[in-house]
Amino acid sequence: MRFELMLPHQIRDAIERNLPVLLPLGVLEYHGEHMAVGMDMLAVTRILDRLEQELDIVILPQFAYGAASYAVERPEGAGSVHVGADKILSIAEEIFFSLLRVGFRNIHGFIHHQTENFTAGMPTDLAFKLAGRQAIFRFLETQYGEGWWGSDRMRDYYTQHDEGIDPFNWICVHPLMDEEITQKYPFDHAGMGETSLMMALAPEVVDRDRFGDNSGWYTESAKDASAELGEMGVGLILDRLKELLVRDAT
Ligand SMILES: [Zn+2]
């Protein structure tokens, strides 16, 4: 279900069923001469399109204006759009706080950009992770006042924590590909891994005739990309998402 298309009674039903509410996070960034700047965003949204066929989920409108950085390429004539993490933080906190006010308690952000070292984090995901934490603290304090954690209603906090149902689990941010997947599927920037993913998920945004126009080291492996390899990666990602979201729902 697309959040923007839902009627209030459907939203209430999704809350009641504690359905996963998914926020696609991405950037607009130069991905070589052969691929569209929306690659990182499209990797998430197209995967969620497929996940929607198999699972009851709510998909929020995407947030595409992440901190792309100009590390790969200058923006002039190349297309990278960078919004600093400090600016994203306040917007992200408002989005999450609002979603908690609506009643959702099973919110997941998914991001593909710069996630090769997700535990340490990179600006866009760190901004959303911090925003989620701040939104939860603010929400609980608004609902129950200061001292909410020390009050008797939180007596079983550590049991909840062990079971993964504590309030800090209401909002989670995940990489599209976790470490287990990147051991089986190439993680790169606009190389064989990403180009193959797009050939599988959004073939209209890859132009093989442009491979020769690339000059960056990171695009050298793109010529070895294939839709078959991409489908393999998509399968790994979908399996993990199903496991993650279904486990979460139980
Ligand atoms: Zn990318």
35, pLDDT greater than 60: yes
> Per the structure block, which two tokens stand in for 17?
């069923």
Can you tell me the distance from the alpha carbon of 102 to that of 99, in angstroms, rounded to the nearest whole number? 5
Mean pLDDT for the chain?
95
For ligand 1, the distance from its centroid to the CA atom of residue 117, given in whole angstroms, is 14
Q: CA dihedral in degrees (74, 69, 197, 5; nearest 10)?
A: -120
Q: Please give the average per-residue pLDDT across 227-244, as a whole number.
A: 97
For ligand 1, the distance from its centroid to the CA atom of residue 194, given in whole angstroms, is 6
Residues with CB under 5 A from ligand 1 (ion): 39-40
Q: Can you give the pLDDT at residue 248?
A: 55
Can you tell me the distance from the alpha carbon of 223 to that of 116, in angstroms, rounded to the nearest whole number? 22
For ligand 1, the distance from its centroid to the CA atom of residue 8, given in whole angstroms, is 36
pTM given for the model: 0.95
For ligand 1, the distance from its centroid to the CA atom of residue 15, given in whole angstroms, is 33
**247 pLDDT band (50/70/90 cuts)?**
low
For ligand 1, the distance from its centroid to the CA atom of residue 205, given in whole angstroms, is 13
Beta-bridge mates of residue 109: 23, 173
Q: Which residue has the higher pLDDT, 104 or 250?
A: 104
For ligand 1, the distance from its centroid to the CA atom of residue 40, given in whole angstroms, is 5
26, pLDDT greater than 70: yes
CA 233 to chain centre: 16
Q: Please give the average per-residue pLDDT across 18-22, as a whole number.
A: 97
**86 pLDDT band (50/70/90 cuts)?**
very high
